[in-house]
Structure 1
Amino acid sequence: MTLLSRTLGVFAGVALLMVGGATAASASPMADEPPYSQVKCLNSEYASTCFQWEGDDQWIIDREANGWAAVVHVQTNYGKNVECKAMPAAEGWALCLFDHQEGKCVRFRLYELKDDVKRKYTGWSPWYGTEYGSLC
């Protein structure tokens, strides 16, 4: 897949809407995996998410075909709250593009969602820098 087609596919697949005070993005499906040398990840029994500081991308994968959607809640230290919902289980990694301010900090947690019910919250990740992914 060329960089241009990947970029166009990502932009075409990302839809933004307001949900409960946090901006939610529908992740676009990706055939690739996160570049593990450039991400900070959080894993649970039902999902995994990785923050890629170059580009402010949030990767997510739903690991259980249980009827519940995996969601990552992303928070910055300057007041931004956004969410990224995974594609259904077994459809691979998905990606949401968030344009965070450089020189700030971000943290994230996972939960499951079905019919407006949320469950299985993980703890928050540590705070990571938006420029280089180092601890804040």
Structure 2
Amino acid sequence: MRLRRTLTAVAAALLLLGSTVSPAAAADPPWLTPDKATKAAGPPNYDNCRFAGTNIGSTCFQWVGDVQWVFDGWTNGWAAVVHVQTNYGKDRYCQALPSADGWGTCNYNHEEGKCVRFRLYELKGDLVRNMSDFSRWYGTEYGSPC
């Protein structure tokens, strides 16, 4: 019995040593650590912004200035996040202000003459839910469909 307890303790110690995670591997994936939006003075200009929305919130891409707008539609403890993807390999994530605080923005310096698309999801801690489909692709220079 004593030998079995000793072997169990040694096995547990080896498991702990073998499962050590390096600091680089311990970093959260980017969709769990989005940029925090800056409070906007008002809503986006509807004439130069490409919109997408779901029941959880809204987002739009303003090609002049490469601004991604985001709005959380529910006061439910979950944060609305927009995932912005480029056709040149960049993924960016922008978390909305709490829903009572209105529109927020994240400024991204996209490459001109390229394309972006975006989708919404909700985030709470390390839980993700209500992932929408991606929008169509829009040009970073003039907002035209790609």
What TM-score, normalized by structure 2, do the two folds share? Answer: 0.78
Q: Which runs of 4+ in 1 moved over 6 A?
A: none
Q: Which residue of 1 aligns with 2:8?
A: none
Contact 2:117 2:135 in 1 (8 A): yes
Contact 2:71 2:96 in 1 (8 A): yes
Contact 1:31 1:92 in 2 (8 A): no
Contact 2:67 2:107 in 1 (8 A): yes
- Supply the distance in 1 between the matched residues of 2:44 and 2:131 (Cα, whole angstroms): 22
- Supply the distance in 2 between the matched residues of 1:87 and 1:118 (Cα, whole angstroms): 17
* Residue 20 of structure 1 pairs with residue 29 of structure 2: yes
Structure 2: runs of 5+ lacking an equivalent:
1-26
Contact 1:27 1:94 in 2 (8 A): yes
Q: 2:105 aligns with which of 95, 103, 114?
A: 95
Q: Which residue of 2 aligns with 1:131?
A: 141
* Residue 40 of structure 1 pairs with residue 50 of structure 2: yes
Structure with greater strand percent: 1
Shift of 1:93: 0.2
Match of 1:58, SS? strand
Contact 2:34 2:81 in 1 (8 A): no
Alignment coverage as a number of residue pairs:
119
Q: Which residue of 1 aligns with 2:79?
A: 69
Percent sequence identity over matched residues? 54
Which has the greater radius of gyration?
A: 2
What TM-score, normalized by structure 1, do the two folds share? Answer: 0.84
Contact 2:80 2:123 in 1 (8 A): yes
Query: What RMSD over aligned residues (CA atoms) do the two structures have, in Å?
Result: 1.4
Q: Which residues in structure 2 correspond to 1:113-124 (within 5 Å)?
A: 113-124=123-134
Structure 1: runs of 5+ lacking an equivalent:
1-17
* Residue 78 of structure 1 pairs with residue 88 of structure 2: yes
Shift of 1:31: 2.4
